[in-house]
Structure 1
Amino acid sequence: MTVRKGPGSPLARLQDWYRSPLGAEVAALESACVQRLLSDTFGYYLVQIGVTESFRDAMASSRIRHRILMPCEHPSGHGGREVVGWPSRLPLASDSVDALLLPHTLDFSPDPDAVLREVERVLIPEGRVIVLGFNALSAWGLWSLLSGSAAQVPWCGRFRTAHQIEDWLSVLGFDIEVREHIMFRPPFRRALGPSFSAFDTLGRRLWPILGGVYSIRAVKRVATLTPLRPAWGRRSLLRGGAAEPTTRRAGHA
């Protein structure tokens, strides 16, 4: 089962929501957060899966040599290198990607576990994944339950906690490096005014786990006596030949 793409899909409509006043505020905070998390991440291939427009500056600032987009629509029309595929079955070679960015990709996937298994498969040893998600343990999560807007983005997504995502990543052999919560204002347009600015300051100090959005950076660990990094000059990004299984059968419980 894969996440549905196209003009009517939640991931496609999330990009439209990012253009709203509230969405633009969230996008600015998320882009700055991603830029911080990528500042000390190096390598050859960085792949972003899902919405792409709101993170162009963060991607451009990365020191990783090649930046690849896998948009939620085909094509995105914003230029750059793009790859078409399903998040739960990535058209990428195993052990080929240095870093992956998942901006709310898990929130709108019907099979987030399959997406994370694919992330583990395509990342090189010591490769990193950055996950952004709407926090169920926040005013945003509460509003998603009470609003009754099950068909509206972003409230139609499945909100989770950072702890739940970290558990999934740990099972797949990842170590959590960084966790951060942002956007402590309530999910209302009027909360963008200056009178609500204290929410962000107080939230970071007093209730840091209650931010409306969480970000996680995790590193893929491989149990081996001599970890070997694939040679950058000879590494192929795209899959070739027959389809590979999405679940590695060795090295994990």
Structure 2
Amino acid sequence: MKENDTCSMQRRQLCEWFESPLGRSLQALEAHHLRAVLSGLYGTVVAQLGHIGKLDLMDACSAPTRILLDYNGIANRCTIRSLPEALPLDTKSADVVMLPHTLDFCQDPHQVLREVSRVLRPEGNVVILGFNPLSFWGFRRFIARRPRMAPWCGKFFRLSRIKDWLELLDFDTTHGMMLYYRPPVQNEGVMHRLHFLDKMGDRWWPMMAAVYLVVAKKRVLGVTPLPVSWKTKRIAGRVATQPTVRGIVLPFNPRRVKRLG
């Protein structure tokens, strides 16, 4: 329970940090790209695990049912109090699940992804936002004094690690992007002058962005068709072929064969 309280405190700090100039700048860019992503994902139920900032990250969803689950229970919002490791949702009940920096600030990210896999319907999608440790932001976290404050107290998982976890849970990564190449400075004037780095980053150093956005689809295991082999059988002086499945010869009754003409 102590670890859950620590994660809850860190999530509250993260919400407060997203009200800072740097946090608002980052969330505005994240929300912009999420609108483009979510508009192409169809379904009737969308769930978001964790609340950050004041922007509604699900506003571009066409789904009639939108569920926000958050352990802190933010006031003035339609929120279901829940740990991300134990979602109060039925199995195969959601079409899209959003994780806005949820894995960075949770007790057990493996269990969170297992819960996401459980509640997603076949062909459902998970959308993940995470801080990239291989960036200026990752270096800032490395040199931050302890105890670290948000967002530097997050875990900052590598993108390759997230993809490995998704692959183990039978997810196929469909698309993704890197976001925000500016260094973590709070001065709004400096941030505005460094806006050109976002355009250069995709071309010159694409893996050095502060945040990655990943979309993965829950894989549906198809039914493998049974192999059909053909064997020959001599009938009334002629050679006939008939199918066999799993090595068992299908019965052949010549009395049931009708003569044509």
TM-score, length-normalised on structure 2? 0.80
* Greater C-alpha Rg: 2
Equivalent residue number for residue 114 of structure 2: 117
Once the 2 structures are TM-superposed, how far is the Cα of residue 146 of structure 1 from its aligned partner? 1.0
The 3 A distance-change label for structure 1 pair 63 and 6 is farther
User: 1:118-157 alignment to 2 at 5 Å?
Assistant: 118-157=115-154
Once the 2 structures are TM-superposed, how far is the Cα of residue 190 of structure 1 from its aligned partner? 3.1
Give unpaired runs (5+ residues) of structure 2: 225-261
CA distance in structure 2 between the aligned counterparts of 1:44 and 1:3, rounded to whole angstroms: 34
Structure number with greater CO (CA < 8 Å, separation at least 6) is 1
Does structure 2 conserve the Cα–Cα contact (< 8 Å) formed by 1:2 and 1:86? no
Does structure 2 conserve the Cα–Cα contact (< 8 Å) formed by 1:5 and 1:12? no
Equivalent residue number for residue 25 of structure 1: 25
Question: Equivalent pairs: percent with the same residue?
Answer: 36
CA distance in structure 2 between the aligned counterparts of 1:13 and 1:193, rounded to whole angstroms: 22
Equivalent residue number for residue 92 of structure 1: 89
The 3 A distance-change label for structure 1 pair 54 and 217 is farther
CA distance in structure 1 between the aligned counterparts of 2:146 and 2:135, rounded to whole angstroms: 17
Is 1:160 paired with 2:164? Answer: no
Equivalent residue number for residue 178 of structure 1: 175
Does structure 1 conserve the Cα–Cα contact (< 8 Å) formed by 2:7 and 2:106? no
The 3 A distance-change label for structure 1 pair 204 and 54 is farther
Structure richer in strand, relative to its length: 2
Name the amino acid aligned to 1:14.
L
Equivalent residue number for residue 232 of structure 1: none
Equivalent residue number for residue 76 of structure 2: 78
Question: Which of 178, 196, 205 pairs up with 1:207?
Answer: 205
The alignment partner of 1:130 has SS state of strand
The 3 A distance-change label for structure 1 pair 61 and 2 is farther
The 3 A distance-change label for structure 1 pair 150 and 212 is farther
**CA RMSD, Structure 1 to Structure 2 (Å):** 2.1
Question: Which of 191, 194, 206 pairs up with 1:193?
Answer: 191
